[in-house]
Structure 1
């Protein structure tokens, strides 16, 4: 599973426009092949900063969405509302196994 986070800093007067775009497209995004989860977060300190948080079966599924007609409509409309460039990154859940420290040999 690939997790995608995109931080969006919006022009303060355009937040309502962004929320309308998100509301109009969120179910279509959730129904894209490979999309398992999508939610919108609002920054705790800055009301014009939002993050999208999505889970994808694979990087190929995310790329297919990013090359879709839907993305071609949603992203340019959203991008026009930015006050700063977006920050986007993808991560995989980490699996950390406990290890036994090496003992010094004497």
Structure 2
């Protein structure tokens, strides 16, 4: 399993637009083949910063999504709202405690 973390910082005046956009696409992303989990997190010290946190069945599944029309369309609408360059990491779980 691949864990994907994407940090995005938005222009203050675009935060509501991003929330609306995410609300429109979240179910489609979650139902995309290979996506096992999806959440949106908001920074506690900086409300302009959001993170998407998702689980993917494999690197290949993530790449299929990243090359999909859904991703391309969503990303095109999202990136114009940014205040800073986004950062993304693909990681594997090392230790999990529950």
Which TM class, normalised by the smaller chain length?
A: over 0.9
Alignment map for 1:19-34 (pairs within 5 Å) = 19-34=19-34
How many pairs were matched up? 95
Matches of 2:60 and 2:23, distance apart in 1: 25
Question: Which residue matches 1:71?
Answer: 71
2:52 is paired with a residue whose SS is: strand
Matches of 2:5 and 2:82, distance apart in 1: 16
Question: Which residue matches 2:80?
Answer: 80
Q: TM-score, normalised by structure 2?
A: 0.95
Stretches of structure 1 that go unaligned for 5 or more consecutive residues are: 96-106
Stretches of structure 2 that go unaligned for 5 or more consecutive residues are: none
Alignment map for 1:5-84 (pairs within 5 Å) = 5-84=5-84
Matches of 2:55 and 2:77, distance apart in 1: 22
2:3 is paired with a residue whose SS is: strand
From the CA coordinates, give the structure whose radius of gyration is larger.
Answer: 1
- Residue 33 (structure 1) shift: 0.5
Question: Which residue matches 1:99?
Answer: none
